[in-house]
C-alpha cells in the first residue's frame, strides 16, 4: 500500500491544492466569530429583560414579551447559522483531508471532493441565510428615536 505514496512533487501539489480550502476555512472562522458574538449579546439581553420583568406593570410586560419573543427568534436563527457554518467548516476540513489522501495515495477521490465541497457550500448558504434573517429581525426591532439623533 505504501508503494503508491506519491513523490515530493506530488505532495507539494497536494499541499497547493489544499491551500484554497484553507482560505475558505479562515473566512468561515471569521463569520463564526461574529455569529457567536451576536449570540452572546442576544443571550445577555434576554437575561437582562427577563430578570426585571417580574415586578412591572401589565403594559410594560406586553412590550417586554414582544422583545423576548423577538430575542428568542434571533437566538434560534443565530444558533442555526452557527450550526450550519460549523458543519461547513467541518466539511471543508474533510475536503482538505480528502485532497491529501487523493494526492498521497494516488486514489482518485475527485467525486468525493466535489460532493463534500458542494455540501460545504450549501451548509454555508444555509448559515448565511439564517444569519441574514437574524440581522433583519434585529434591524426591525431596534428603533432609535429621531430625537436622539438630532442632539
Q: What pLDDT is recorded for position 53? A: 63
Q: What pLDDT is recorded for position 2? A: 45
Q: Is-contact 49 68, C-beta < 8 A? A: yes
**72-94, pLDDT tens digit by residue?**
999 999 999 999 999 999 999 99
Sign of the dihedral through C-alpha 87, 93, 97, 103: positive
CA triplet 85, 88, 93: central angle to 5 degrees? Answer: 130
**115-139, pLDDT tens digit by residue?**
999 999 999 999 999 999 999 999 9
DSSP string across 117-145 = HHHHHHHHHHHHHHHHHHHHHHHHH----
Q: For residues 52 and 137, which has the higher predicted lDDT (pLDDT)?
A: 137
Spell out the domain ranges in the chain: 7-143
Whether 43 shows a pLDDT value over 90: the answer reads yes
Amino acid at each position: 500500500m505504501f508503494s503508491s505514496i506519491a513523490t515530493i512533487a506530488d505532495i507539494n501539489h497536494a499541499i497547493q491544492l489544499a491551500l484554497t480550502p484553507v482560505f475558505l476555512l479562515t473566512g468561515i472562522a471569521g463569520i463564526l466569530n461574529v455569529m457567536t458574538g451576536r449570540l452572546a449579546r442576544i443571550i445577555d439581553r434576554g437575561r437582562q429583560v427577563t430578570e426585571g420583568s417580574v415586578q412591572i406593570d401589565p403594559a410594560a410586560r406586553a412590550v417586554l414579551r414582544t422583545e423576548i419573543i423577538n430575542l428568542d427568534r434571533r437566538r434560534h436563527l443565530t444558533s442555526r447559522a452557527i450550526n450550519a457554518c460549523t458543519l461547513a467548516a467541518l466539511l471543508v476540513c474533510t475536503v482538505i483531508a480528502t485532497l491529501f489522501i487523493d494526492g498521497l495515495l494516488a486514489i482518485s477521490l475527485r467525486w468525493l471532493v466535489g460532493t463534500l465541497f458542494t455540501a460545504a457550500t450549501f451548509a454555508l448558504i444555509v448559515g448565511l441565510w439564517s444569519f441574514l434573517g437574524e440581522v433583519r429581525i434585529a434591524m426591525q426591532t431596534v428603533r432609535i428615536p429621531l430625537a436622539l439623533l438630532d442632539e
